[in-house]
Amino acid sequence: MNVNNNVNLKPFHTFGIDVPCDVLVEASSIDDLISVYRHPDWQDLPKLILGKGSNVLFTEPFHGVIVINQLLGKSISADGEDIYLKVSGGEDWPNLVEWALTQGIPGLENLALIPGCAGSAPIQNIGAYGVEFKDICEYVEYLDLESLDIVRLSTQECQFGYRDSIFKHDLLGKAIITSIGLKLSSQWKPTLNYGPLNTEKELLTSPQLVFDLVCDIRRSKLPDPNVTGNAGSFFKNPVITHENYRQLQALYPDLNGYKADGGVKIAAGWLIDRCGLKGYQIGGAQVHPQQALVIVNVDNATSNDVLDLAWFIKHAVQDKYGVELEHEVRFFNDKQETRLENIFSERF
For residue 233, indicate whether it is catalytic: yes
Half-sphere exposure of 342 (CA within 13 A, CB side): 10
Residue 87 and residue 100 in one domain: yes
75 in catalytic set: no
Report the residue count for the chain: 348
Report the run of H or E that residue 229 belongs to, with start and end.
strand 229-233
Query: Considering 201, 218, 235, which residue would you say is the last residue of a domain?
Result: 218
Q: 258 and 190 in one domain?
A: no
- Number of domains comprising the chain: 3
Residue 142 sits in the same domain as residue 171:
yes
> Tell me, what CATH number does 105's domain have?
3.30.465.10
Q: Are residues 176 and 305 in the same domain?
A: no
Q: List the pLDDT tens digit at each of the 348 positions of the chain.
A: 999 999 999 999 999 999 999 999 999 999 999 999 999 999 999 999 999 999 999 999 999 999 999 999 999 999 999 999 999 999 999 999 999 999 999 999 999 999 999 999 999 999 999 999 999 999 999 999 999 999 999 999 999 999 999 999 999 999 999 999 999 999 999 999 887 899 999 999 999 999 999 999 999 888 999 899 999 999 999 999 999 999 999 999 999 998 888 899 999 999 999 999 999 999 999 999 999 999 999 999 999 999 999 999 999 999 999 999 999 999 999 999 999 999 999 876
Where a domain ends, among 69, 98, 123? Answer: 69
List the domain range (segments joined by +) for residue 267.
225-347
Closest CA to 49 of 70, 74, 75, 29: 70
| 163 catalytic residue (yes or no) | yes
- 156 and 103, same domain (yes or no): yes
Q: What is the structure's pLDDT at 32?
A: 98
Is there a single domain that holds both residue 202 and residue 79?
Answer: yes
Q: If you write DSSP's letter for every residue of 48-112 in order, what string do you get?
A: EEESS-TTEEE-S-EEEEEEEE----EEEEEETTEEEEEEETTSBHHHHHHHHHHTT--S-GGGT
Q: Within this chain, do residues 145 and 198 fall inside the same structural domain, yes or no?
A: yes
Cα separation, 115 vs 138, in Å, equals 21
- For the domain that residue 16 is a member of, what is the CATH number? 3.30.43.10
Answer yes or no: do 35 and 143 share one domain: no
pTM of the model: 0.89
> What pLDDT, on a 0 to 100 scale, did the predictor assign at position 271?
98
> What does the pLDDT read at residue 259?
87
Same domain, yes or no: 130 and 264: no
The continuous run of DSSP H or E covering 182 comes out as strand 175-185
Which of 54, 165, 233, 303 is an active site residue?
233
- Name the active-site residue from 91, 132, 141, 328: 328
Given 24, 47, 69, which residue is the final one in a domain? Answer: 69
Say if residue 119 is in the same domain as residue 183.
yes
CATH number at residue 253: 3.90.78.10
Catalytic residue selected from 132, 163, 179, 218: 163
Give the dihedral sign, CA 108/111/115/121.
negative
- 321 and 193 in a common domain: no
**Residue 15 phi/psi, 5° resolution?**
-70, -25
Rounded to 10°, the helix 93-102/207-221 angle is 150
Verify that 111 and 142 share a domain, yes or no: yes
Positive or negative: CA dihedral 237, 238, 243, 248 = negative
